[in-house]
Chains A and B, each alone.
Chain A
Amino acid sequence: MKATVLVRPKPGILDPQGQAVEGSLRHLGFDVSEARVGRVVDVELSTDDPQEARAQLERMCEQLLANPLIESYVIDLDVPAPA
């Protein structure tokens, strides 16, 4: 089972990378007021049980993929359509 984890700097956390991207986008002529840069982690799990997969992904995020002090995360589980 596949999943995508999206990790973002929490609101209010200084994101100099996002600021640099924002400046660059403006320089290119795009009318943007903010850009923030996060991280995408694609994970392939061996389990086919969505509930078990989600539980594992939550633990992955808490232990390693995100730092809860400064980052939030969203788990997007790619649940296969029933055959």
Chain B
Amino acid sequence: MTERGPRPLIPVVVFPGSNDDRDAVRALEGLGAESPRVWHTDEELPAGTAAVVLPGGFSYGDYLRCGAIARFSPIMAAVTRFAAEGGLVLGICNGFQILTEAGLLPGALRPNESLRFVCRDVALAVERHDLPFTTRCEPGRELSIPVKHGDGCWFADPVLLAELETDGQIVLRYASGANPNGAVANVAGVSNADGNVFGLMPHPEHAVDPLLGSTDGGLILGSLVDSARLSLAAAV
């Protein structure tokens, strides 16, 4: 977890109803990033943005469908442009829901099979270790990271799922027996085809301090900070 080099700029977007933005900022800054909070009505990301995070919460009260309204926030046009240029975008929980609604990530998130809100640590298998979000994760090592959601049941029809499996876009799965929401194929996190946009239901920002039981979230956020720093170096 050592800091190396300059602090990459990784803003965290705040929508009305976001509630994990401060935790995300704290986690990212602890891992060596500079993470200002950016308001959803902003039309541009800050100059020099190396990666952007959409945090958890209940944007727009989860009205209509989770993330369906937030995706039309002015900042999302900037996030979409940033992603199209290859910029790194991470969506956590509600951020993941927003990215699927925006069409930046495949699939959709539905109410949990149990209809219950789940809040607990889950065991996760990392399927890709070569993405900008997972380079710090060691092959074969499961992660323990908490989930807390009512609408985390990821869905894709069999045709889409087969495509994503073939393309290696299933990045994170709940470990056997640990699926908390009924997600298809135990999917906990997916990436886009280019691998620069990643969304997951578990909350890595809540697992960066031994006091809270796990620091495994730091592996994902730390990977992002490393990759953002590399992209800065490449841009110079």
Contact = CB atoms under 8 A, between A and B. Distances in A.
B155 A70 contact: yes
Interface string B108-144: 1011111100000000000000000000000000000
Contact of A13 (B65, B107, B155): B155
Contacts of B108: 67, 69-70
B64 A14 contact: no
Interface of B: 64-65, 68-69, 72, 101, 107-108, 110-115, 153, 155-157, 160, 182
A12 to B, nearest CB: 8
Interface in A10-69: 12-14, 16-17, 20, 39, 64-65, 67, 69
Contact of A14 (B69, B107, B160, B182): B182
B175 to A, nearest CB: 21
A19 B36 CA distance: 44
A65 B69 CA distance: 10
Nearest to B67: A67
B101 A14 contact: no
A67 B100 CA distance: 10
A39 B182 CA distance: 22
B33 to A, nearest CB: 32
